[in-house]
Structure 1
Amino acid sequence: MSEVVAIIPARGGSKGIPRKNLQRVGGVPLVARAVEAARRCPAVDRVVVTTDDVDIAAVAAEWGAEVVERPADLAGDLASSESALVHALETLEARKVDAGVLVFLQATSPFIDVDALTAAVQLVRSRRRDSVFSAVETYGFLWEKGIGSAAEPVNHEIDVRPRRQDREPHYLETGAFYVMRAAGFRAANHRFFGSVGIAEVAPRTAIEIDTLDELELARALAPLVDRDAFGARAGSIPVDAVVTDFDGVHTDDTVHVDQNGVESVTVSRSDGMGVGMLRAAGIPFLILSTEANPVVAARARKLGVDVRQAAADKAAVLREWAGERGIPLSRIAYLGNDVNDLGCLEIVGWPVAVPDAHPLVLSTARVVLDHSGGAGAVRDLAERVLNGRDAVVATSHTSAHPTAPLEAS
């Protein structure tokens, strides 16, 4: 029985955005987002990432993709996507994989419409189309620069301006996915052949990242678009350890100072209960603070958890703490609120923010909590982590497919 194989080309080099395929949108690396979209598509049997980069390969494998090592001569700036796809298909054939339908996904499209992808696969499997691509409907009047850069109409008459409802739409290719018969693709050596179909996708998903501006736009859109994908799992965070900042997380980011200069803060008993629940479940917990303050150490002792203070390089301390315990960074949730937390948020599998966090922290987070710092944020995170652990156990008992793992550091 032939398989529907999704292949994601993801080379390590990129001139416009360094390490582009590992850049995060919604707290998740772009290549991981593509793997996750393919895994959520019920019509896809196998997910493969072809890459020349060891870091990308590690992320792909941890998210559940099979990896094909891409030769250097097929990973340069001039190498075509088609050449990478052909090589991957040949490699899979040597592994005794019979690819009947090829799904070509691009990691630079962070918001892949899984429903539209599923419908596209069905069109090809049923032989109604040989090749199908993602596109958005457009009624725009298109122009091009002609002789002397003078504007010339492309899809309309210059002296006719019909209303939208009186015009036929055109379709703009988004680049998110292409689905095709594998044998036909190998024969044509091109993604468009035979009877070509269009899979319409929602306009808000139609962004392809080639520039830093497009990357920032995707990050701004992620909280809205991901509500139907990554955000649907926001109620559970499956990790093996929790690390938090202190000020603005365990507290409301204010300090009370008496006439003698002694500082005090207000914390939540609910947060303390949440930490206790994590400890009872055997989940390691670390409070990581830039400052050295007796109140932080006192709170850590009260909670019975690890604490590291005076951490000028919080990310380095986090790496050291995780390494000592043999916990992959991809299996850690880090909760922060300000710019000194960005280094940690960018290396863990689950970057989490309080709702009143700095805008840069909010744009980096994979999950934004419902409760503010000092008002139940830590309890909120604890419950999601415990829900994630319960969900993994339930999934292992009810499904042959494992829960999508988290990204590598």
Structure 2
Amino acid sequence: MSEVVAVIPARGGSKGVPRKNLQRVGGVPLVARAVDAARRCAAVDRVVVTTDDPDIAAVAAEWGAEVVERPTALAGDEASSESALLHALDELQARAVDVGILVFLQATSPFIDVDALTAAVQLVRSRRRDSVFSGVETYGFLWEKGLGGAAEPVDHDIDVRPRRQDREPHYLETGGFYVLRAAGFRAAQHRFFGSVGIAEVSPRTALEIDTADELELARRLAPLIDLRHERDVAIPADAVVTDFDGVHTDDTVHVDENGVESATVSRSDGMGVALLRAAGIPVLILSTETNPVVAARARKLGVEARQGVADKAAALREWADERGIALARIAYLGNDVNDLGCLGLVGWPVAVSGAHPLVLSAARVVLDRAGGDGAVRDLADRVLAGRTATTAPVEAHEHPTARLEAP
């Protein structure tokens, strides 16, 4: 039986934005976002990434995609997406995969509308259309620079300026996805053939990243578009690393007349750490400052703390290497700009509620709780939920946390 196969071309080279397909939006590499969108589409049977880059291939595999090795000759600036797709179809045919419908996704579109994608597949499957592309409605008046740079109208008469409600819309390709009848695509060797349809998407999902400015815009939009505040988001991490000030505390400090500092922490957070330890999940506190408050809290929690760390990302990488824990399997919880390096390394960058805007943009998950108000417990609950989702439940009388007390 033929399959609906999503193919994501993702080459390693890029002039406008270096290593573009690995750049993160909402804490997730662009190629991974495309894989995730395809896997969330119930109409897609198989997800494939075609790439010439081993790092992209590793991320694609980690997120559940099959990988087709893309020849160097098809990975240069002059190579077309069609050539990569045709090569992928040949490789899949060699693997005995019968592709009936080809879903072409572009990793440079970070906000793919899965519902619209599903509808597009159904439109091709029903044979009402042979090719469908994602498009956004526009009523814009288009101009081009003519001879000598003078402006000339493209789609309208300059003497007639009808109101929006009196005009028929045009549709602009978003570049997000194309759904194609595979046999027709092979024959035409182009994404538009036969009866072409439009899958209309919202303007807020229509961003395509070709420049550094567009990448920054996508990062700023991600907190508004991604569902990263959902309370049921489980985090399947193998280790938890946190900042201290603004995470375990509310980022304030009390200083007495002798200069002795103290801070307020949450007993709920203490219980969360205890639950993580009982589940065998390593916990590390990383702090830029050296402060006896941090050391005392770490001792109370029974976890390791590394203080006075100028380069927190390097310290995190060293700690992970020492324990053989993949960075992709670490959840890092931060709140301010000195956490950005660590957030950019791990598979699960997490922000407390009310974090710095750049941290919110870098996070894959934004917690409901603020620092010092149960944020660590919130993260712990999500990590434990991610762990229990992939393991058999423990009998009640064997539960390892039955006698725990909150530090």
Structure 2: how far apart are the matches of 1:301 and 1:139? 63
Aligned counterpart in structure 1 of residue 291 of structure 2, from 270, 290, 293: 293
1:85 aligns with 2:96: no
- Report the counterpart of residue 360 of structure 1 in structure 2: 358
- Report the counterpart of residue 110 of structure 1 in structure 2: 110
- Report the counterpart of residue 404 of structure 1 in structure 2: none
How many Å apart are 1:243 and its aligned residue?
A: 0.6
Question: Is contact 2:231-2:368 (8 Å) kept?
Answer: no
TM-score where L is the length of structure 2: 0.93
Question: Is contact 1:252-1:373 (8 Å) kept?
Answer: yes
3-state SS of paired residue (2:389): helix
Of all paired residues, the percent bearing the same amino acid is 84
Residues 232/119 of structure 1: CA separation in 2 closer, same or farther (3 Å cut): farther
Question: Is contact 2:61-2:67 (8 Å) kept?
Answer: yes
State the one-letter code of the partner of 2:236.
P
How many Å apart are 1:324 and its aligned residue?
A: 2.4
State the one-letter code of the partner of 2:330.
I
How many Å apart are 1:233 and its aligned residue?
A: 7.2
State the one-letter code of the partner of 2:272.
G
Structure 1: how far apart are the matches of 2:75 and 2:231? 34
Deviations 1:297-322 (A, max 9, x none): 11111111122222222112212222
Structure 1: how far apart are the matches of 2:231 and 2:169? 36
TM-score where L is the length of structure 1: 0.93
How many Å apart are 1:232 and its aligned residue?
A: 4.7
Deviations 1:198-220 (A, max 9, x none): 11011100000001111111111
State the one-letter code of the partner of 1:313.
D
The correspondence of residues 7-406 of structure 1 with structure 2, limited to 5 A, is: 7-227=7-227, 232=230, 235-393=233-391
Structure 1 runs, 4 residues or longer, greater than 6 Å off: none
How many Å apart are 1:195 and its aligned residue?
A: 0.8
Structure 1: how far apart are the matches of 2:57 and 2:253? 45
Deviations 1:162-193 (A, max 9, x none): 22121111100000001101111111111001
Structure 2: how far apart are the matches of 1:134 and 1:233? 31
State the one-letter code of the partner of 1:387.
A
Unaligned runs of 5+ in 1: 396-409
How many Å apart are 1:394 and its aligned residue?
A: 8.2
Deviations 1:243-275 (A, max 9, x none): 101111111222222232222222111111111
State the one-letter code of the partner of 2:21.
N
Question: Is contact 1:99-1:182 (8 Å) kept?
Answer: yes
Structure 2: how far apart are the matches of 1:205 and 1:307? 41
Question: Is contact 2:105-2:177 (8 Å) kept?
Answer: yes
Structure 1: how far apart are the matches of 2:203 and 2:149? 30
Deviations 1:58-88 (A, max 9, x none): 0000000000111111111111111111111
How many Å apart are 1:147 and its aligned residue?
A: 2.4
3-state SS of paired residue (2:321): helix
Greater shift in the superposed pair: 193-202 or 313-322: 313-322
- Report the counterpart of residue 401 of structure 2 in structure 1: none
Structure 1: how far apart are the matches of 2:166 and 2:190? 35
State the one-letter code of the partner of 1:243.
V
State the one-letter code of the partner of 2:258.
N
How many Å apart are 1:393 and its aligned residue?
A: 4.5
Deviations 1:17-49 (A, max 9, x none): 111000100010000000000000011111000
Residues 328/233 of structure 1: CA separation in 2 closer, same or farther (3 Å cut): farther
State the one-letter code of the partner of 1:346.
G
Residues 394/114 of structure 1: CA separation in 2 closer, same or farther (3 Å cut): farther
State the one-letter code of the partner of 1:103.
V
Structure 2: how far apart are the matches of 1:231 and 1:3? 34
Residues 267/233 of structure 1: CA separation in 2 closer, same or farther (3 Å cut): closer
State the one-letter code of the partner of 1:183.
A
Question: Is contact 1:226-1:232 (8 Å) kept?
Answer: no
Unaligned runs of 5+ in 2: 394-407
How many Å apart are 1:356 and its aligned residue?
A: 2.5
Structure 2: how far apart are the matches of 1:234 and 1:314? 29
State the one-letter code of the partner of 2:91.
T
Structure 2: how far apart are the matches of 1:300 and 1:210? 45
Structure 2: how far apart are the matches of 1:213 and 1:334? 27
Residues 236/266 of structure 1: CA separation in 2 closer, same or farther (3 Å cut): same
Structure 1: how far apart are the matches of 2:113 and 2:356? 30
State the one-letter code of the partner of 1:134.
S
- Report the counterpart of residue 400 of structure 1 in structure 2: none
Deviations 1:134-157 (A, max 9, x none): 001111122222222222222222
How many Å apart are 1:329 and its aligned residue?
A: 1.0
3-state SS of paired residue (1:36): helix
Question: Is contact 2:13-2:19 (8 Å) kept?
Answer: yes
Residues 64/55 of structure 1: CA separation in 2 closer, same or farther (3 Å cut): same
Structure 2: how far apart are the matches of 1:59 and 1:144? 41
Question: Is contact 1:13-1:19 (8 Å) kept?
Answer: yes
Structure 1: how far apart are the matches of 2:177 and 2:230? 22
